[in-house]
Structure formats: structure tokens, C-alpha cells
Amino acid sequence: MIRSRFFLMLVVAACSAVGFALLVDSALTQEKAAERKFTSAVESKAEYERTVAPFLKKHCIMCHGPKVAEGELAFHELDIDMKASTSSGRWAMVIEKLATREMPPEGRAKPSDDELKAVTSWIQAEMKRAGKNFSRRHAIANGNKISHDKLFDIKQAAPFDNPIRIRVLSPEIYTGFSTDIAKGLSLGQPFTPEGRTTFKDMGAPKIDEPVAVQLMNNALVIVERQTAHKIEGGKLVALPGAVKDMLSFVDESVPLTPVLMDKAISGQFQKILNRAPTVDEKARFVKLMQKNVKDAGRATGMRYALVAVYLMPEAIFRYEIGAGKGDDRGRIRLAPREIAYALAYALTDKRPDAKLLSDAIEGKLDTKEGVAAAARRLLDEPKLEKPRILRFFREYFGYDKAKEIFQEDKANPEHDPRALVEDTDKLIEYILAQDKNVLYELLSTNKSFVAYKTAADTKKKRAEAIKKFEEQKKKDPAKFANKLPQKIGRSVYTAYNLTDFPDQQPVELPAEERAGILTQPSWLAANAKTDENHAIFRGKWVRERLLGGVVPDVPITVDAQLPNTPDKSLRERMNVTRQEYCWKCHQFMNPVGLPFEIYDHFGRYRDKEPVVDPDATAKKVDKKGKSLGIVLREIPVDSTGGISGTRDPAVDGDVKNAVAMLRKLAKSEHVEQVFIRHAFRYWMGRNENLGDALSLQTAQKAYGESNGSMKALIVSLLSSDSFLYRTPTVENKK
Amino acid sequence: MAMNRRDVLKGMTLSAGSVLLSPILDKLQAQAGGRAITPKRFVFVVESNGVRPEQIAPVGVQRTPRPQQALNGPAEFVDLALADRRLPMSLEPINEFKNRVTIVQGLSGRVCGGGHSNNFQALGAFGAGRGNGGESMAIEGETIDGALARTIPGIFPHIGLGISKRLENNVIYNISAIAANRALPTMCKPDQAYANLFGSVAGGNAQREFAARNNLLDFMREDVGRARTRLAGEEREQLDSYLESFETLRNRQSRLNEIQHTLRERGPVVNNKYTSAVETDRLDAQFDIGAAAIICGLTNVLTISSAAGIRDFDITFRGLGLNIDKHTIGHGGSFQGHTWADLYNMIRRYHFTLIAELARKLDRVREGNGTMLDNTLIVYLSDGAEGHHSRCWEWPMVLLGNVGGRLRTGRYVDYPGYGRQGHRTTANMYVTLLQLAGSNRDTFGMRDQGLRDLDQTGPLTELLA
């Protein structure tokens, strides 16, 4: 393994901050990355015959061949020339099925890792030849597809597989970076999460031209501010916001000496990349500066040269290319500096602090324990803001979407989604502060915050308004006879079925009415339509995020609309989904979604629900027979449902409503594992695969042994092999 | 649809003298190669809150909103000449162009999710994606402006200008997309839009900025190119797309350089409306910039969004003296004695004043044997389809322009009811636009399963000359 020896040598260099650039430079230029790609169909076919055909014959053809074609897949008919056919999509699926070990099915002979690798690499190489954009990262859009049982089986089902990667900064990191550098400037956000992934920061969105333009414009705004000046009487005068040290760069009266240029370049590198420039980099920047000043004058020329550092790939991308030591299992470790950045970005939106960078230089991140200690330090540091933790819960539960669901004001003037979301944020922070049985509490607590930011103030102002009103009424009873006191703020407490703002927060709500985040009005409103509940969304959430199930997207051939029969309850209207074709998927959602019918779409607990009374409505007409509006009647809520798929007979089974369901789920080990899988996805920025089994199991153990400490779970994940090691891709290995 | 170009080419080779023919042949070959002789241009004006069908029928033509169900309209195709009819109040501003106007009613867009806005779905004719909920922000595919941008790319393949109800919104993404999950930006600040489009010739320092920018882009191409060689596979692709952005930008610089005289002569003049807090001022400015961008040849596809999208649809047009937002109007709110219907009309009329001014500007620029307007089509519609709470059973549109005589205009047309023979969808409208732009595609967006018994392919032949 030339590569690993090579890295051993360079690890010394990596110990200095400067070393990183050197290392990236030389490591990868020496190892000219050769991409595996067939040059012709003939070459591809030969490789197919050599490795793939025997594999298919041995493992696949009996179920996917001339005799039977299960899943409408028959390999003898699947074109191996992906350029001349449209078969690449199906081949992509083959990779997915093999990677998840879904195929060959249980009970069949298991292919060896080498066999699997050979088939996968042929498919990928042929795709490259065909120019088909198959992306390994996107092969498995839904992480739940990976077999849960295999992930939590002691016997690891597949070898460690975690390719190196580079990813653009998340929007939040970019904001964190630019607010550090450009205080008070409002910059446009260039980055957008890719979407379609479980968590926002999991994809690998590519930079396109509008993004590049925005990056460049932002950088210009920053540099212009830093060098803001005017010329008065031939002399440069600084304007507000200018950085004194940087003015000499743009001041024509100061000669542009090599020393000055060096200062300009080094300053930018230190500020933006946290390191000094290499000799080569310096030379290139000097050249740019000289040319720019010649073509565009001193101020403009220098500004555009300073801008370039902001646009360097290292400033825009997160590098996790495994520039550290290799091990005997063919894995390479992230370089200490890479680890420092990855740790910082795991918990904060800022670049690593000085301590973390010095840890990297001093070799403190060279061991698992060292990394765990560094992660622990960041978690325990009270002054360090760690927005990434709350963001995990926001994205996992999705309650903050309540702010995006457009609700008619008239239907419930007290609805204040912003306050509801803040309450749930606060409840999560409260549970995290205890850091004990975190998931259990999240799913079962009947504590809640109620408009906690404004409750006391609103209550006080309301009392004052009433007092003032009473005084006025006393003075002039006639004028105020039919008036009401001025109403201040919204009665957010109604969402929690309270009669007033509570004085103590958190308040205990009736245990038979509320159980955890999924019974918070924010979550319920986030998973609702503008005018009614959305039992299907709610059920899908529970099925996917607590039970780890897979619910396919609505097939495009389905016009998924419930019948427009307002005289029926939602449950009755959803009976259409019981048709055999629909029920295939809806059986996974309806039974865990309908228990939430004990709440309305604003999250208010209820035991009766309103439906249209057709007879009374028909009778409510004026003399001419014109309708005077609809009449509602109340019917009892049916909130029954059932849990399935927890592999635990004590948990599976019928439930009478959401509260009963959640209290059962809160105790399920399966649910705990599914939660850990989601935490893994969030903190690794990718879906788990079978090679991550050990990391997941270790994380579960750490969580269990610490009595459900979220901190312990995070530390375990951030010091796991899955976080620290990478496997070189086929192309990079060659 | 026009004759197949290759047939034309063949026919001409046989019938005419080759000497005389060669310049024509060049042009035809250029056209057959995908480059149109005279560029076709498309402007989309998307106004939030729905276009009520009854409000855009000519005076005297009775048209009520269709019921929200299948077979909701007549079996016949309605085709009336506008020449002897008065335009409705809100369309009066384009009266002078009446012979180039087509009012199109009766198209459906049921694949879209409906709601207060259909967001990307409006120009995309695709579904709402996961969950099929209303008001979804899903981008299931390209939108028509994105598709046209790829068909007839200008220096800027697509320019999106608009207003947001929030003054601080700079660039937003909510109606246009170049492909699935790849939104195109709508620039909401006129001054920023101006800097992006005309910055190369703006201000005294412009020339130097331009040169420095070129150097920077050259440097970045080299720097990113260097970094990319150190990686392989998907990692390299990440850097490749970054590199490609710089290549595109550098290339654009060269092209802007080529037309700098035009930009100087015909670029817009910045005024205080560019940074105004008043919504109508900013929309005025955006039309101003948009017109100049087309006239200068910066783009062939322009989308002007008047607060389209679910986040902005409830904007208040204070500049029209209204102190009532569009959401309230949509719910039947009245203001100073004007009913909701009056208010809808007043606001739409204001938009058509801007459209008329845009048309006039284009009509003043000579091009070939005619004017620029002859090769431009302005399409007016709402992301909220047929009403405040759209269900997309109908999607009224107004077209201005005949695209070199290829559209038979000066008409009011109304397609048969949903599900009836001859019923067409917005997807067919978008296919029509693509074909006018020289594409030979005959499908767009998603098929409507509710119309599975009808042919949903091809353009709206009834509109073509």
C-alpha cells in the first residue's frame, strides 16, 4: 500500500497548520487520480463477461432470468451497453440492492465482498462510459431502506465503506463565516440545501453559476468594506468599516513592494483559511496582484486579488478526503486538521476554535479518546454556541414547519405558530439540559412551555388593560356598556387547552392529553393542512422516523385526493385509502396517524370533532331559499389505531389514541435504535450503510450506559470510525 | 405547426438557383442546427392571487368560473374575434395591441397541487411531489421559462426579476427552475438586478472593474482546475461544476464586452424607484430593467414575478392607494367602496399598463423587417391559477405577440370543459411555446391522470396560424 506509507510520511507535515495545504498538494498530485472508465463497449463487455456474468449466473439468474423475472427484472434482457440503451437506471437499482444486502435474499448463498465490489465497479465504470450521471451518494435516497436488523446484528454484514468526500459549506456555516469576517454587512446567501434528503446538510449540492456569482459578489462587498476609503487632496482617507491594516494595500502613495504583497496574501490566508500560504500559492497571488494593478489600477486591482482567497475551493468546500494515516484494513484516517474542522462543523456553524486547532497540531486528535475528549470539551463549554444540536431536533421532528403552513387567521385568531415553535424549542432545550433519558422524555413528557417568551408580559398588559377599562367604565358606564377591554396579544395558551398563561414554566399539562413533542401544537400544526388535520403526514412521520419503516412516495399515477364530503370525519373520508392498491402503503401510515385525531389542526386536544350537518344546512335558508351558510354538528372522535413493526410484542398492538401510542413507543428499544440511526445520519451528513453497524451499536451502548444522555450519544458518534475514517474510492486507490 | 425545416431545405435546393440560394441556405442551416434566424423571445408576467376567468372575458361575453369537477364546461371550442369587441377593464391598457392579443381560457392544470400559490408548479405543469399537498415548493422538473432558456439561451439564458412583499429579500427562488430541484433565481432588488445585468458598463470605474473581474475569473479557473486534478470521481465532479461556473462567467464577460456599446446606449437609467419601499415602484423598475435587458440582447427569456409564490402572494399594493392585502381581497375584502372584484381588476389593470409599456418599448426597436415585438411573446398568468384558492380546474392566460405571424391573434378562445374532447392543459400551452422557440418537443411536465382518455401531447394547434 503505497498510499498509506506515503501518508505516514506526511503526517508529520500535517502537524502544522501550513502542512495541510502541502499535504493536499503533494499527496494528490503524486497520486494522479485515475478514473476507472471503459473506453469502448468492447472493453466493457469483456470485463462484464469476466466478472459480472458469472456472478449473475451464480446468484441472480434463477429469480431474474428467462424462467422467472421477479420484480420485472430479467438479467438476460437487461442491456449491458448503457450508452446505447436506457438500462442504467435499472443497473443503479442493482447497485443499491447489493449495497444494502437486500439481494441476494435471506437463505441464498452470500456473495463475497470482492465479488460484490467487482460487480459494483463494473456498473459504475460502464455508467461513466455511457455518461450516465449515477451518483453513489444518491443511490440510497432513503436511509431506512438499509436493513435494520443487519445494522444492529453483532455480526457485521458488510465491510466498512465510507468514501472520501468534499462538500460545499452549509448555508449556516457560510453565514457564520461571513458574519465573523464581515460584521454588520448583509450578504446574500449563495447556498441552498439540496433537498430530498432526511436532513438538510446531507446532500452534495453542486455549485452552479448563480451560486458562484453570489459568492464573488459577497466577497467583493466584504473587501470593499474592509478597504473603504475616499481620496481627499490626493490623500487616502479611511471610511467607516475600513480595516486600518488593509488600507495600505489600496493606497497608491504606498509602494507595492514584495513585503506589502506578502502581507496582503498572508493576511487573507490566515483570516479565511486559518493557515499560511504555500510558496507556490504566494507566487501565484503575487502574479495576480501585479497583473491586476497594471490592468485595473491599485485599488480595484488589489481588491479583486484579495477577493480570490474567498473563492478558493478550500474556502468553499469541506474537505474530508482522508489525508491522515492509513490502517491495515485499507482505511485512511482524516488528517488532524480535517478532524478539527469536522468536529467544529458537527456542533457549531463556526470554524474550529484556537484550542481545537492546537489540539490538531499537538496530536491530541490522533486517537479515538482524544477526539472524544475534544468533542466532550465543545459540548461542555457553556459559552460556545452549538446551534447544530437543536437543529437536529428541529429537522428530525420537523415541528418548525408549523410556521410555513399557511393558516387562515379567521379560523383561529389565537394561532401563533412562531410562539408554538419557540415553545417546542424551549422544551427540547429543557430536556437536553437534564440530559437524562432524552428520547423517552421527548416522546412522553406532559410538561410544556406556553408562549414562554411573552406569556408574563402579555398577562401583565392584559390585566392592566382590563383595569383601565373597568376604570373608564366606572366613569362613563353608558359609553362602555357594550364594549370589551382591548385585547392584547394572542391567547396562545388555547393551543394547549389552558384557560390562561401559566405563571410557572414549564407547566404540567394533563398526562392523558399530552405526551412529548408529537403532541406539541407546533408539531401537530406542522403536520396539518391549512384547514384540517393531515393524518397521512402524521402517520408517515411516525412510520419513518420512529419505526424506521419505508413508505414509498405517492405513485405519480395516483391522484391522491380525499373525497370532498364535509359531512364525514377525516377517518371516514380516508376509507378510500383502504382499496387494496392504496392500502399496500396506507396500512403503514393510517393506523399510526389516526390516533392524532384527538387534536385538531391547531394542536388543540379534543374529544369531539365538527362536521357539516347537511340537513340543518339545507334548512338554513332565507325566505327566498338562499343559503345562510353551513351548519356544523359535533361527533365523537375515533382515535383508535395500532403499532406494528417494533419487533416487541409488548409495544406492538392496538392503541386508543396518540398519547397511549407515544407512551408505548417511548419505551421501545427499536424506536431508540431508529432514533440513533437518525442522529447518525445528521452528524455524519450521510445515510448509514451496513459497514457502519459497529458505530451504530457503540452509539446505542453509549446512550444506554449513560442513562440516555444525548451528549454521550453525540460524543460516541463523533469519535466513531464512521466519523474518523474514509475508504479510498476505486479510482483513488489505483 | 410549420413545415419540417429539413423538407423546406430540400424543396428549395431543388427549385431555386444555388447562387441566389446560398445566403438563405446558410440561414436555414443555422436554423436547422438549432439557431433561429431571428431570436424568439418570451416574457412571463406572473401575478399572484389568481386570474379570475370571468374578469378577462371581453365585454359582453358571459363567462362564469367553471365548477370544480370533470365535464365542467361546454363541449365546444369558443373562438371569438377581439376586433369588434371591447377588452375588459383590466386589459384596456393593451388595447392598442388588440390585434396581437390572444385571451386563452379553459386550460386546466390539475397535476398541480393548488392552493394560494402553485409555486414552481405553475410554470412547470408538474405535481406537488411528496405527499401531494397544496402549496408545495416541490420542483419536480424544469419550468417552461427554464426549458425555453435552454432552448434559446442568450448571454443570460434566463433572467428572473420580481418583487417580494419583504423589502429585504434579495434573491428568492419560487417560480422558475432549470431542472428538477434546481431553482432559478428571481432578483427582487432592482438596484442589485441592475448591477448584475448592466454592471459591466455602469459607473466610472466600470472599465477597470471589468478588467479586474476578467483577471479574477482567469485566476479562479486556473486555481479550481488545479484543485480538481487532485481528486477523482464524484469529488472531482463537485469541483468540475464550480470550475464550469467560472468558465461560464468568463465567457459571459467576453460577450458583454462585445455588446458594451449597446448596453451603454440602451441600458436603463437608474432612478429612485430602484430602491423604493413602495411595491409598485419596484415593479415599475423591474419592468424597466427587463425591457432594457431584452432590447440589449442580454436574454431571450425573462420572467417577471409580481410577488408570486406562497411567501409573497398576500402583498399589499400601497402604490395604488390600496391599504388592503391581496389575501384579504381574495377572501372578499373590500376597500373604500371597492369590492374584491374591483380590486382584483384594478391591480391587474396596473400590471397591464406595465405590459403595454414593455410592448411599446419593444415595438420601437426595429428588427429585420419589423420590430422586436414581432419576435416576442408576452405571457400573462397567475401562479394562483384561477382564483384565490386555486384548484387548477382552469388556468386563464393572456398572450401578447404573434411571434412573426406564427400565432393567429386578436382572439378570445375558450377550450372545452375538463375531460371533454378537445380539452387542453397548461402543459399543451407550454409545448406550444417550446415549438415557437424552435424545439420539436411535444410533451411537457406531467400527464394528468384524470385526462388519461384524451391525447395530452402536442401544441395548442388552435392558436397557431
ipTM of the complex: 0.80
Alpha helices in A590-692 (DSSP H): 590-593, 614-619, 658-665, 669-684
Chain B contacts of A282, Cβ < 8 Å?
none
Q: Give the residue numbers spanning the domain of A280.
A: 169-317
Distance in Å, alpha carbon of A557 to nearest chain B alpha carbon: 6
**Which amino acid, A108?**
R
Judge whether A121 is closer than 8 Å to chain B, CB to CB: no
pLDDT, average across residues A591-603: 97
Q: How far is CA B452 from the centre of its chain?
A: 28
In this structure, the strands spanning B78-81 and B411-414 are antiparallel
Angle in degrees, CA B382, B386, B390, rounded to 5: 95
Locate B224 and state its grid cell.
479550481
Is there a contact between B291 and B361 (Cβ–Cβ < 8 Å)? yes
**Beta-strand runs (E) in A139-228:** 165-168
Lowest mean pLDDT among A20-34, A210-224, B245-259: A20-34
Q: Quick check: A139 pLDDT over 50?
A: no
Helix (H) or strand (E) holding A129: helix A113-130
Cβ-defined contact of A313 to B227 (cutoff 8 Å) = yes
Cβ-defined contact of B231 to A166 (cutoff 8 Å) = yes
Looking at domain B39-193+271-463, its CATH class is alpha beta
Judge whether A532 is closer than 8 Å to chain B, CB to CB: no
Q: Quick check: A352 pLDDT over 80?
A: yes
Judge whether B62 is closer than 8 Å to chain A, CB to CB: no
Q: How far is Cα A523 from Cα A518, in angstroms, rounded to an integer?
A: 6
Chain A contacts of B183, Cβ < 8 Å?
192
- Order across the sheet with B376-382: list the strands: B78-81, B411-414, B101-105, B397-400, B376-382, B41-47, B301-306, B159-163, B182-187, B171-179
Q: How far is Cα A648 from Cα A196, in angstroms, rounded to an integer?
A: 31
Lowest mean pLDDT among A374-388, A449-463, B188-202, B320-334: B188-202
**Which amino acid, A39?**
T
Helix (H) or strand (E) holding A90: helix A88-99
8-state DSSP, B415? P
Cβ-defined contact of B449 to A557 (cutoff 8 Å) = yes
Helix, strand, coil share (%) of chain B residues, nearest 5? 45, 15, 40
Distance in Å, alpha carbon of B409 to nearest chain A alpha carbon: 35
* pLDDT at position A101: 78
- Claim to verify: residue A174 and residue A131 sit in the same structural domain: no
Distance in Å, alpha carbon of B461 to nearest chain A alpha carbon: 27
- Percent of chain A topping pLDDT 70: 91
- Where along chain B do its domains lie? 1-35, 39-193+271-463
**Measured between alpha carbons, how far is residue A568 from residues A571, A572, B104, B165 in Å?**
8, 6, 38, 38
Q: Of the candidates A196, A295, A553, which has its C-beta nearest B215's C-beta? A: A295
* Residue whose grid cell is 411528496: B130
Could you say which of A286, A302, A317 is where a domain stops? Answer: A317
Q: How far is Cα A299 from Cα A227, in angstroms, rounded to an integer?
A: 8
Chain A contacts of B212, Cβ < 8 Å?
292, 295-296, 300-301, 303-304
Judge whether A562 is closer than 8 Å to chain B, CB to CB: no
Chain A contacts of B232, Cβ < 8 Å?
33-35, 729, 731-732
* pLDDT at position B36: 46
**Beta-strand runs (E) in A467-623:** 507-508, 608-612
* Residue whose grid cell is 479574477: B216
Q: How far is Cα A516 from Cα A495, in angstroms, rounded to an integer?
A: 15
* pLDDT at position B27: 43
Q: Quick check: A430 pLDDT over 80?
A: yes
Locate A149 and state its grid cell.
436488523
How many other CB atoms are there within 10 angstroms of residue A231's CB atom? Answer: 12
Lowest mean pLDDT among A288-297, A325-334, A647-656, B422-431: A325-334
Q: Which residues are within 8 A (CB) of A617 and not within 5 positions of it... i.e. 6 or more apart? A: A627, A629, A630, A631
Distance in Å, alpha carbon of B293 to nearest chain A alpha carbon: 18
DSSP per-residue codes, A25-36 = HHHHHHS-PPPP
Angle in degrees, CA A686, A687, A690, rounded to 5: 130
Q: How far is Cα A614 from Cα A33, in angstroms, rounded to an integer?
A: 72
Cβ-defined contact of A204 to B238 (cutoff 8 Å) = yes
A23 vs A587, residue with greater confidence: A587
Q: A140-191, pLDDT tens digit by residue?
A: 568 898 889 999 998 888 889 888 889 999 999 998 988 888 777 767 778 8
Q: Quick check: A33 pLDDT over 80?
A: no
Instruction: Provide the total of helices (H) and of strands (E) in chain B, helices listed first.
Output: 12, 12
Residue of B nearest to A138 (CA): B234
Q: How far is Cα B113 from Cα B385, in angstroms, rounded to an integer?
A: 11
- Claim to verify: residue A311 and residue A220 sit in the same structural domain: yes
Alpha helices in A362-416 (DSSP H): 368-380, 387-397
Q: How far is Cα A388 from Cα A396, in angstroms, rounded to an integer?
A: 12
For residues B451, B452, B457 and B462, what is the CA-based torsion angle, rounded to 10 degrees? -40
Task: Establish if A583 belongs to a structural domain.
Answer: no
In this structure, the strands spanning B171-179 and B182-187 are antiparallel
Helix (H) or strand (E) holding A226: helix A209-226
Q: How far is CA B129 from the centre of its chain?
A: 23
A724 vs B261, residue with greater confidence: A724
| DSSP collapsed to 3 states, B41-83 | EEEEEEECCCCCHHHCCCCCCCCCCCCCCCCCCCCCCEEEECC
Chain A contacts of B170, Cβ < 8 Å?
188
- Claim to verify: residue A176 and residue A73 sit in the same structural domain: no
Q: How far is Cα A724 from Cα A729, in angstroms, rounded to an integer?
A: 16
Q: How far is Cα A438 from Cα A724, in angstroms, rounded to an integer?
A: 26
Q: Which residues are within 8 A (CB) of B244 and not within 5 positions of it... i.e. 6 or more apart? A: A208, A209
A349 backbone dihedrals φ, ψ, rounded to 5°: -105, 15
Could you say which of A302, A317, A332 is where a domain stops? Answer: A317
8-state DSSP, B86? P
Indicate the pLDDT class of residue A486, thresholds 50, 70 and 90.
Answer: confident
Burial A361-392 (b: 16+ CB within 10 A, else e): beebbbeeebbbbbbbebbeeeeeebebbebb
Cβ-defined contact of A308 to B219 (cutoff 8 Å) = yes
Is there a contact between A469 and A485 (Cβ–Cβ < 8 Å)? yes
- C-alpha closest to that of A400 among A418, A415, A380: A418
- Total tally of structural domains belonging to chain A: 2
pTM score of the predicted model: 0.75
Judge whether A556 is closer than 8 Å to chain B, CB to CB: yes
Total CB pairs under 8 A between chain A and B = 165
* Residue whose grid cell is 390539475: B110
Q: How far is Cα B133 from Cα A562, in angstroms, rounded to an integer?
A: 11
B361 vs A529, residue with greater confidence: B361
- Claim to verify: residue A241 and residue A173 sit in the same structural domain: yes
How many other CB atoms are there within 10 angstroms of residue A115's CB atom? Answer: 17
Q: B99-113, pLDDT tens digit by residue?
A: 999 999 999 999 998
List B residues 427-456 in contact with A (Cβ-Cβ < 8 A): 446, 449-450
- C-alpha closest to that of A75 among A87, A85, A84, A83: A87
List B residues 91-110 in contact with A (Cβ-Cβ < 8 A): 110
Chain B contacts of A321, Cβ < 8 Å?
231, 235
Along the 465 residues of chain B, how does pLDDT read in single tens digits? 333 433 333 333 333 333 333 334 444 444 444 444 578 999 999 999 999 999 999 999 999 999 999 999 999 999 999 999 999 999 999 999 999 999 999 999 999 988 899 999 999 999 887 544 567 888 889 999 999 999 999 999 999 999 998 886 777 889 999 888 778 889 888 987 887 788 777 665 666 877 898 999 999 999 999 998 888 777 888 899 899 999 988 988 888 888 888 998 999 988 999 989 999 999 999 999 999 999 999 999 999 999 999 889 999 999 999 999 999 999 899 999 999 999 999 999 999 999 999 999 999 999 988 999 999 999 999 999 999 999 999 999 999 999 999 999 999 999 999 999 999 999 999 999 999 999 999 999 999 988 988 999 999 999 999
Locate A584 and state its grid cell.
399496500
Task: Establish if A291 belongs to a structural domain.
Answer: yes
**Which amino acid, B281?**
D
Cβ-defined contact of A291 to B213 (cutoff 8 Å) = no
List B residues 334-353 in contact with A (Cβ-Cβ < 8 A): none
Judge whether A550 is closer than 8 Å to chain B, CB to CB: no
Chain A contacts of B132, Cβ < 8 Å?
554, 560-561
pLDDT, average across residues A464-475: 92
Task: Establish if A674 belongs to a structural domain.
Answer: no
Cβ-defined contact of A165 to B235 (cutoff 8 Å) = yes
Is there a contact between B116 and B384 (Cβ–Cβ < 8 Å)? yes
Chain A contacts of B127, Cβ < 8 Å?
556
CA contacts within 13 A on the Cβ side of A304: 27
Cβ-defined contact of B168 to A558 (cutoff 8 Å) = no
Torsion-angle region of B145 (φ positive above 0: left; ψ -120 to 50: alpha; else: beta): alpha
